[in-house]
Structure 1
Amino acid sequence: MGKRDNLQIGRPSLIGYLRELGLNDGWSVLVQAVLFASGHLRYVGSGRQGLLMMVFVWALIWGWQRIRHGTIVGTILNHALVNATVFLFIGGAVTSL
């Protein structure tokens, strides 16, 4: 596993593992985005399918960002910013969605 496949903060990423399995960058990003979005399926049951689609799109963006920069540090910061924005606009705890 090369330097670009590490989080550079201590452990390998899912995309790095997928690339080791032979998936190219595009498929690695798509698979991780589907897995990330599947962790947010509760939005479907609450009638917020649009949020699930937004999560999937953000996961694609963050996957691309991870590939491009070779780290998820920026992705973590961006995710925190998105969560804070959702919290401010929707109000209440994000887990209550």
Structure 2
Amino acid sequence: WRGFPVIPGSGLRLKKKFEEYDARKRYEDELSELCSGYEYKEPEGCRCGEILRGLVYPDECPLFGKICTPRRPVGPCMVSREGSCNIMFRYGKS
């Protein structure tokens, strides 16, 4: 989750009897190659993690409305129409 740390031991897992349908087990080799050492890094200056946690408003991000717009989103909060930055950009702060 963007802006939140990984919680060790959290997540969902299929029961043993459904193991044959488990994509993690079925494609373990391919997934380990693709995901080894992967960690999402927010673009420099992007405060989306703080925005998602309610610590700052979108317009407190230095990229908001300047470098980061709905036509040229930098962070995930501006990408989708339901993202908090996208909404504030379109409708303002009220």
TM score, norm. by length of structure 1: 0.23
TM score, norm. by length of structure 2: 0.24
Larger helix fraction of residues = 1
